[in-house]
Amino acid sequence: MKRQLITAAWGIALAFSVSAEAITYEFAQVEGFTNGVLSGQAGWSGEAYSVNTNDSGSIMIDNDPAQQWVAAFPTESFDAESNNCFFVSNVVSWTQVETNGDNSIFNVIINDSKSGGTPCRLSLERRANFPQYVLNLKSDDGSNNGWNFFPENLFGVNGSADPDSDEIGFGFSLTKGRVQNEWMYSITLENITSNSILYALSGSMTSTSNLYDSAVLYAGISSGISSEINGTSNRVIKSFSMDQSYINYDIIFDIDFQDMLGPIWNQYHTAPLRAWVYGHITTNGNGVADPSDRYLEHRPGFSTNNAAWAGDRDQVRRGMLFTNSIPEMDISDMYEFSMDYRMFAENSVTDQKFVDVILTTNNYTGNWGTPSSEQCFGQGAEGLDPAIGAYQLGFRLEQDNWTGVGGAWPDGGMKIRLNPVNAEAHAGVINLNDLGITNITDVAGDSESDTLHLRYVAEKTTNVNVWACSLTVSNPVNQLSWTFSEDLTNAIVYEAADLYLGLASRDGFDGIAGYELDNLYSRIVNGTYVPVIDWSYALWADEKGVTGTATEDDDGDGLNNYGEYVFGGDPVPPNGSGDQGISPVFNVESGAYIFSLVGDDTVVAHVLSTDNLIIDSWETNETVRVAETDGLMYAYTNLNGTAAERKFLKVEVE
């Protein structure tokens, strides 16, 4: 039976793609493999791996210290010109022979070359001096992403008492971003043996231009560090999978302000954009003119701008809405908004509100209409208001002092809020020092952040009224990124036919404080939601062309039509005469009786046993009531043991 990662864990990667058939290797004889060195078999490279076709097939990483960090690739590659989303995963197991170990055990990789160069790799590692394992996605530019620690027991390991791991699946996807060298990633880690997802994360990362611009990409595996360093043996790869796809999306707008003359953003007072009243277009950054780069600025107290932008053009508590910017979203669609953001911090502030980005059901037609124009993130003219938040999704960026959020001392942090209904709760914080802001209490300090890239996502999930929301903040200067996510229940927005995007700034600013925005981008990524079908015998019979009743035997093979349905057979002659579906099997070593039933929650089956066919007296071992409704075949196991000298088993369906 093929091992397969739980696809729900891939998040954006699989949910929004149109995919070809995945390529999977299990290194079995039927795939053309024989026992021996992997390199040269079925088109694979890789001198550090040995094939074992016994027990369904696998490959083992060589323990020779000279064979570390050796990559292996199949003959297939990714067509990066026709596709924009790429997946790679494997299923592994190992034995922990040392209490302590360090560094990489297994890696799955994507690279622009099969020879040389640093790949993008997802690494399963050990952590020195701790009974922990680490999962880390490392880009080919050296940046680390999605780093997380896991206790060894999640992998079925318990020190020397139980050193053999469960079967563990891990993998990642990369989806090309709009910005050069930007990728969206999804990571998944799962215990196959216990059928449990241990970790799933999505976010943004950067790469080198070699990876981003390559017309061909290669997926493979890497041996990692030697076993004597990571303290393991029997490093087995039981399967390897790769896939590529194209993600469908509709661009709503893409604005770099280069075609705007300024000084205020009043050139889009018709659909799809309307009503900007708190900022201005400028090419004058800190007194240095640069006509080649226009951007949007909101810094009401900045003295350089006071004379040029007199009046109400930079007033606080003002905002805009992109009218009609978001068409009706289907289930599994994802709304994405991104922008470049530069923050100018204030000294010693608490909960200073900077910018709000809002998805709302409300629209207005004037520059400063009422009442909806007064709305900010989770609040109206009178302050915080959960009733207003109930009509919104989005995020708010704030500045807080270091005591309030645990940010960098003495500068503080940038606080992230994601839930408009509970606008006082924050999803996380980023140290201002990591954003390029340092020593803001000093006259000579740097209060201006690096140019950050923000990406907000709101997915309309298949769970009714639930949105999967996330904000990724990336700093290209130091190659750090942070992802904050929350699942929010919002029936009003979920059921809305029209949504509008708003930006607002609730608080006033002093001195040089404020922010700059550029490269605003908005799109809908189209999902692949398929409505759930309650599978039934009637639907199956109609699809197969069954002419008889459920108790009749159309193909005359001794199994009636309903039995063919339950066990996955073909009831239509002449081909169906030899196909009664998936036959039960018995494992003589474990005593496991394994049988398969169709995914139909009306099916009830009983496992019966006897030790004497002459008396014909059967006892019920187990009753199985199918819970699935999708028409797929599911395997079930009844454990009987091996102590009995003689036992007969059968499955009986009601």
Q: What is the pLDDT of residues 610-644, one digit of tens each?
A: 888 877 788 888 999 998 887 878 888 888 877 78
Sheet holding 604-610, edge to edge: 619-625, 604-610, 648-653
Average pLDDT of the chain is 80
Are the CB atoms for 6 and 31 separated by under 8 Å? no
Indicate whether 281 pLDDT > 80. Answer: no
Which of 297-311, 443-457, 542-556 has the highest average model confidence (pLDDT)? 542-556
Are the CB atoms for 339 and 452 separated by under 8 Å? no
Instruction: Note the pLDDT of residue 306.
Output: 45
pTM assigned to the model = 0.64
Are the CB atoms for 62 and 227 separated by under 8 Å? no
Lowest mean pLDDT among 3-17, 143-157, 418-432, 530-544: 3-17
For 269, which DSSP code?
-
Indicate whether 308 pLDDT > 50. Answer: no
Comparison of pLDDT for 535 and 156, the residue scoring more: 156
Task: Using DSSP bridges, classify how beta strands 280-282 and 120-126 pair: parallel, antiparallel or unpaired.
Answer: unpaired
Report, as an integer, the average pLDDT of 353-380.
67
Q: How many CB atoms lie within 10 A of CB 650?
A: 13
What backbone phi and psi angles, to 5 degrees, belong to 565?
-65, -50
Are the CB atoms for 470 and 492 separated by under 8 Å? no
Structure confidence at residue 111 as a pLDDT band (50, 70, 90): very high
Amino acid identity at 450: D
Element (H, E) at 596: strand 592-598
Burial class for 589, CB neighbours closer than 10 Å (0-12, 13-18, 19+): exposed
pLDDT in tens, 317-328: 455 555 555 777
Instruction: Note the pLDDT of residue 273.
Output: 44
Instruction: Note the pLDDT of residue 370.
Output: 39
Element (H, E) at 353: strand 352-360
Instruction: Classify the C-alpha dihedral 263-265-268-269 as positive or negative.
Output: negative
Give CA–CA dist 88/90, Å, rounded: 7
Structure confidence at residue 373 as a pLDDT band (50, 70, 90): very low
For 153, which DSSP code?
G
Indicate whether 491 pLDDT > 90. Answer: yes
| Listed residue (278, 283, 230, 232) closest to 261, CA to CA | 283
pLDDT in tens, 44-87: 988 889 999 987 899 999 877 777 888 999 999 998 887 888 99
Lowest mean pLDDT among 159-163, 336-340, 404-408, 519-523: 404-408
Comparison of pLDDT for 478 and 354, the residue scoring more: 354
Structure confidence at residue 214 as a pLDDT band (50, 70, 90): very high
Rounded to whole angstroms, what are the CA distances from 445 to 344, 351, 448? 12, 21, 9
Instruction: Note the pLDDT of residue 583.
Output: 83
Element (H, E) at 216: strand 216-222
Which of 187-196, 197-206, 390-399 has the highest average model confidence (pLDDT)? 390-399
Tokens of 371: 């009442």
Indicate whether 236 pLDDT > 90. Answer: yes
Rounded to whole angstroms, what are the CA distances from 566 to 343, 517, 546, 577, 607? 62, 59, 14, 16, 14
User: What share of the chain in percent tops pLDDT 90?
Assistant: 28
Instruction: Note the pLDDT of residue 628.
Output: 83
Give CA–CA dist 442/457, Å, rounded: 37
